[in-house]
DNA sequence: TCTGGGGTCCTAGGACCC
DNA sequence: TCTGGGGTCCTAGGACCC
């Protein structure tokens, strides 16, 4: 038996913890670059703000209803996520952190009173972190996802017992099943499968032939046959991406190189903080994907010796960038992808290339330490530039209440005269 | 004018090996 | 001129997720 814990409107809820005036108010949180709406309070949903809509398309609606708007603040959301997950771990040891705002729990131990257990978890997380959660409980992960939807409409906790499954699936559009997107939904509808119940009843071999083993597993899970185990052991990471859209398009090579250098620096920092190295690097650039002549070229290079040294990675990435750049293009986005990740502790040395010198490694340690202490980018490579006019927009970011001393909330108390 | 970012898994096809 | 069968590894591309 599985439970899926899902934080309600997570990013909005994080903002509300530190600004209680936002309770009951319509609130939205924007994506990076203030591009799209990616979180909405219940009040904002009720006013008709769709998920994922470009901000500029709802600007009028937002000012008309005085909806509060926040740029995304991942330092805050990441830290709040950790607090929620730590709380869950104290209540149920078998835990899979599935995303920033979701976790699966193995509920086999609580089979006798799953509803009461769910309510206890919900109450404790609320009390310890201030984040409201919904909990769906069922025999498989896919069914727990369904149960979670119902929990949001029914007091926060819902147990989907086998006797209720059929009736619930009959009312559920096939695209709302976990793992079925609108694309697959269209193909399924063409086969006369439009509800979750019809998908559950379909032929397994047909699904495997027409789609793949992923869909076959989803059908089995809908039938109550568990195919997706709890993955409590974190798999080693396989790839790492840092990419951003630009606040304004880039047309010159020096600026493009600055942007790529900035993303490489950030990605190398992430590698080091996770004790990883990379052995394969890809740089990609993109023009505006909403215009004609959209282009998205990339250039890759393997490394003889895996590394996480910013300087070495910069050298390769900047060469790749030069090979990609075409004068006359307006670039809207760039990024760097590291693959072939491995442990920084056990580096396979190359016969033909010198490995990171001790000096180089010490430099990285020092740089990371200074930047942790004095703030990101306090010490950085010159290649990343200083002005960065292309930097992403983030006009309405809240303070880093929990991860930055200067941003710690202050509480003022005054004795009231009686 | 403006339209996000970071991941995983699966499959097909090519290169290469014995 | 004729020219097998079976396997692994790697990569690119397509699909999905939050």
Same domain flag for A21 and A57: yes
Same domain flag for A205 and A249: no
Q: Which nucleotides of C are covered by protein (CB under 7 A)?
A: 11-12, 15-18
Q: Which domain does A75 fall in, by range?
A: 2-152
Instruction: Give A299 CA → C3 C1' in Å.
Output: 39
Q: Give A19-69 pLDDT, tens digit per residue.
A: 999 999 999 999 999 999 999 999 999 999 999 999 999 999 999 999 999
Interatomic CA distance for residues A119 and A135, integer angstroms: 8
pLDDT, residue A355, reads: 55
A155 torsion bin: left (phi>0), alpha (psi -120 to 50), beta (else): left
Name A residues 76-135 whose Cβ lies under 7 Å from strand B. none
Contacts 24+ apart (CB under 8 A), A81-85: A81/A7, A81/A10, A83/A128, A83/A129, A83/A131, A84/A7, A84/A125, A84/A129, A84/A131, A84/A133
Q: Give A207-255 pLDDT, tens digit per residue.
A: 988 899 999 999 999 999 999 999 888 888 889 999 999 989 999 999 9
Token couple for A257? 């190189």
CA atoms within 13 A on the CB side of A30: 24
| Residue owning tokens 């929620």 | A84
pLDDT, residue A162, reads: 96
Same domain flag for A133 and A184: no
Residue A401 lies in a domain: no
Domain of A201, CATH number, reads 1.10.150.20
Domain of A122, CATH number, reads 3.30.70.270
CA dihedral for A91, A92, A98, A102, sign (positive or negative): negative
CA dihedral for A163, A168, A169, A170, sign (positive or negative): positive
Residues with CB under 7 A from strand C: A 98-102, 145, 178-185, 280, 300, 302
Name A residues 323-352 whose Cβ lies under 7 Å from strand B. 332-333, 335
Q: Which nucleotides of B are covered by protein (CB under 7 A)?
A: 1-11
> Which nucleotide across the nucleic acid strands is nearest to A245, CA versus C1'?
B4
* Nucleic strand B within 7 A of Cβ A239: yes
Instruction: Give A209 CA → C2 C1' in Å.
Output: 38
Residue A183 lies in a domain: yes
Instruction: Give A342 CA → C11 C1' in Å.
Output: 19
Residues 6+ apart with CB under 8 A from A221: A140, A141, A142, A143, A227, A228
Interatomic CA distance for residues A93 and A110, integer angstroms: 12
Q: What is the mean pLDDT of each run of 10 residues along chain A (418 residues)?
A: 97 96 96 94 96 94 96 95 97 94 94 95 98 98 97 95 97 96 93 96 91 93 95 87 92 94 94 92 91 87 88 92 92 92 73 63 88 83 82 84 85 79
Q: What angle do CA A38, A22, A411 make, to 5 degrees?
A: 120
């Amino acid at each position: 038996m599985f439970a899926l814990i899902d934080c309600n409107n997570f990013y909005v809820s994080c903002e509300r913890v530190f600004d209680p005036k936002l309770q009951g108010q319509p609130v939205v949180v924007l994506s990076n670059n203030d591009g799209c709406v990616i979180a909405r309070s219940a009040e904002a949903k009720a006013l008709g703000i769709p998920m994922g809509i470009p901000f500029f398309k709802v600007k009028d609606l937002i000012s008309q209803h005085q909806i509060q708007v926040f740029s995304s603040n991942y330092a805050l959301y990441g830290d709040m996520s950790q607090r929620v997950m730590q709380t869950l771990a104290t209540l149920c040891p078998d835990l899979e952190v599935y995303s920033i705002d979701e976790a699966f729990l193995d509920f086999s131990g609580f089979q006798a009173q799953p509803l009461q257990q769910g309510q206890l978890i919900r109450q404790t997380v609320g009390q310890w972190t201030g984040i409201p959660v919904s909990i769906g409980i069922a025999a498989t992960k896919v069914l727990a996802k369904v149960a979670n939807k119902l929990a949001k409409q029914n007091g926060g906790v819902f147990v989907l017992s086998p006797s209720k499954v059929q009736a619930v699936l009959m009312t559920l559009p096939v695209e709302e099943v976990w793992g079925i997107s609108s694309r697959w939904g269209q193909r399924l509808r063409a086969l006369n499968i439009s509800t979750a119940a019809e998908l559950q009843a379909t032929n397994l071999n047909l699904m495997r032939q027409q789609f793949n083993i992923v869909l076959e597993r989803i059908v089995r899970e809908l039938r109550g046959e568990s195919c997706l185990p709890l993955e409590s052991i974190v798999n080693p990471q396989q790839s790492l991406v840092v990419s951003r859209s630009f606040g304004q398009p880039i047309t010159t090579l020096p600026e493009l190189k600055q942007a790529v250098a900035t993303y490489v620096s950030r990605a190398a920092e992430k590698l080091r903080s996770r004790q990883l190295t990379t052995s394969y690097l890809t740089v990609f650039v993109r023009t505006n994907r909403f215009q004609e002549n959209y282009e998205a070229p990339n250039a890759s290079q393997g490394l003889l010796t895996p590394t996480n040294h910013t300087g070495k990675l910069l050298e390769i990435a900047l060469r790749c960038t030069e090979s990609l750049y075409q004068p006359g293009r307006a670039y809207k986005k760039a990024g760097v992808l590291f693959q072939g990740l491995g442990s920084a502790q056990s580096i396979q040395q190359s016969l033909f290339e010198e490995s990171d010198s001790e000096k180089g490694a010490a430099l990285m340690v020092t740089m990371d330490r200074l930047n942790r202490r004095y703030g990101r980018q306090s010490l950085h490579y010159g290649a990343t530039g200083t002005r960065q006019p292309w930097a992403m927009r983030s006009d309405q970011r809240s303070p880093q209440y929990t991860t930055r001393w200067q941003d710690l909330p202050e509480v003022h108390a005054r004795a009231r005269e009686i």
